A = this chain, B = another copy of it.
């Protein structure tokens, strides 16, 4: 490609990008939903935790459906100043096989999430793997959406988990669907420390 062609093409691209940037001029506390079957939903939320801490912002994290307390993310972030880290729930629901206990655990977990969503000092709240609790009917979607909508202005919230409901997608500002094109697990490679947990 000759240089002049490149220069013209990039100048056109720059004009498009610049115009888009100029037309997006508002700030807002965002609701982000990261859904789909692919690898990267929770890790993306944790990357935003790191970014927020880089600005000196305070962050709250609630991990639902995690019984293990030895993940890399918890080991790393729970010791950082400015982070509230809550591991909620008693494991994946197919491990416990006890619906009543799961519902009670989900409701206890949500009361913790509510305190985060009412704390204006938190710039970012992560509700990791929340979608499962809604999809199994353990939490009331109307209540959850009302609590999300009533959060402090300027507070960003990131929700992760497969199969996010239309309620959540409708309420969200940004939704990414992470599709599983290829996964090492299917080639017989187990979850790797630092990557998957």
Chain A positions within 8 Å of B, measured between CB atoms, are: 1, 3, 6-7, 10-11, 13-14, 17, 20-21, 23-28, 30, 32, 34, 36, 38-55, 57, 71-77, 92-100, 123-124, 137, 156, 169, 172-195, 197
Contacts and interface: CB of A to CB of B under 8 A. Distances in A.
B57 A47 contact: no
A55 B94 contact: no
A76 B20 CA distance: 28
Listed residue (A34, A93, A173) with the most chain B CB atoms within 10 angstroms of its CB: A173
Contact of A52 (B39, B41, B178, B194): B194
A30 B192 contact: yes
When A and B form their complex, which 8 residue pairs have the shortest distance between CB atoms, in order from nearest?
A: A43-B47, A54-B72, A51-B72, A46-B47, A54-B76, A52-B194, A54-B75, A38-B176
Given A50-B72, A50-B76, A182-B175, A27 B192 contact: yes
A11 B92 CA distance: 12
